[in-house]
Structure 1
Amino acid sequence: MKKVLLILCIVFSTTLFAQEEWGNVQNNTVTLNEIPPIWPGCESSSATSRKNCFNQKLAQHISKNFKYPAEEYKNNVEGKVIVEFIVNEKGMVEVKNVSGGTPALQAEAKRNIMAIPKMAKPGMMGGKPRAIKYTVPFTFKTGK
């Protein structure tokens, strides 16, 4: 009886751990949690703080690396560019789509996103590496 109780406790605690990190089981429906990639330097213990750190590092990266194309700025060309990208299963960025603005503005927005460093850890779902999709808007405004 003690052995059965011990085995049940081990199985039950393992099930709870798996549900907390990977997903939930409720009314015969399984929901898997998507865990975002971890930006280098954001390897803290809390999942919430890692997600906030990722968003903060992404914003810092974009603003630090933002360059208005000289010809477009000189000619007062403005526009909004949308970049859709993934962080793949290996933690590398892949641009999937760039839309809006002129070709020069699109190229600059794509260059900025492609300069994102390799993630410390890729996104996960169900305990396996998974590509995670992001969409970032770039607003080019000369202010003239």
Structure 2
Amino acid sequence: MRTLFLIAFLTVSSLSFAQEGVTVSGNAISITEIPPIWPGCIGNAAETKACFKKELVKHVVSNFRFPEGYKKGTVKEKVVVDFVINEEGKPQILGVKGGTKVLQEEAKRNILAIPQMTPGKAGGSPRAIKYTMPFTF
């Protein structure tokens, strides 16, 4: 009876401490990154990831303002913004390349206007997830 109780206790204990996104197979441990969740996106991991991409593009397009002196269709430049959604679910700029300083500042402003979201996870803990967003004018 004691042995049965011990086995049951160990089984329940190991299940209660399992981490989301961690898989153990033999000697290999695999940690799956779970992307951030945009506000209002629901569903499984694939659905929330697709929703994130769709909402990010919609945000960038609807919030972009051409700086003074620039008009849509007259600029042929590309700005690339590297950023993360940090452990708190907020955007944080890592770097900006290409284009003029004015276009870089507008691209940064646009990314920093991303709404607060549920942060990504790795191994069950909040984790900064990196993204690259190209802006082609």
Instruction: Please indicate the TM-score interval, normalised by the length of the shorter structure.
Output: 0.7 to 0.9
1:73 is aligned to 71
Residue 88 of structure 2 is matched in structure 1 by 90
Aligned to 2:31: 32
Greater helix share, structure number: 1
**Partner letter of residue 34 of structure 2?**
I
Verify the 8 A CA contact 1:86 1:131 in the aligned structure 2. yes
Q: Using the aligned pairs only, state the percent identity.
A: 49
Checking the alignment, whether the CA contact within 8 Å between 2:66 and 2:72 is kept in structure 1 is: no
| RMSD of aligned alpha carbons | 2.2
Query: How many residue pairs were aligned?
Result: 135
> Which 4+ runs in 1 deviate beyond 4 A?
none
Match for residue 133 of structure 1 among 123, 130, 134: 130
Structure 1 residues 95-114: Cα deviation after superposition (integer angstroms, max 9, x where no partner): 11010011111111111111
Unaligned runs of 5+ in 2: none
Pair 1:46–1:106, CA change in 2 (3 A)? same
Which amino acid in the other structure matches residue 7 of structure 1? F
Tell me how far 1:25 sits from its aligned partner.
Answer: 1.5
Give the C-alpha shift of residue 5 in structure 1.
4.7
- 2:112 maps to amino acid: M
Match of 1:122 among 119, 122, 137: 119
CA distance in 2, matches of 1:55, 1:18: 29
Superposition deviation, residue 29 in structure 1? 1.5
What residue number does 2:12 align with?
A: 10
TM score, norm. by length of structure 1: 0.82
- The 8 Å contact of residues 72 and 104 in structure 1, kept in 2 or not, is answered as no
Q: Which amino acid aligns with 2:36?
A: P
**Cα distance change on mapping 1:18 and 1:51 into 2, 3 Å:** farther
Question: Counterpart of 1:57?
Answer: 55
Deviation sequence 1:10-49 (CA, Å, 0-9, x none): 356x28x936x3222223111111111111111x241111
TM-score normalised to structure 2 length: 0.86
- Can you give the 5+ residue segments of structure 1 that lack an aligned partner in the other structure? none
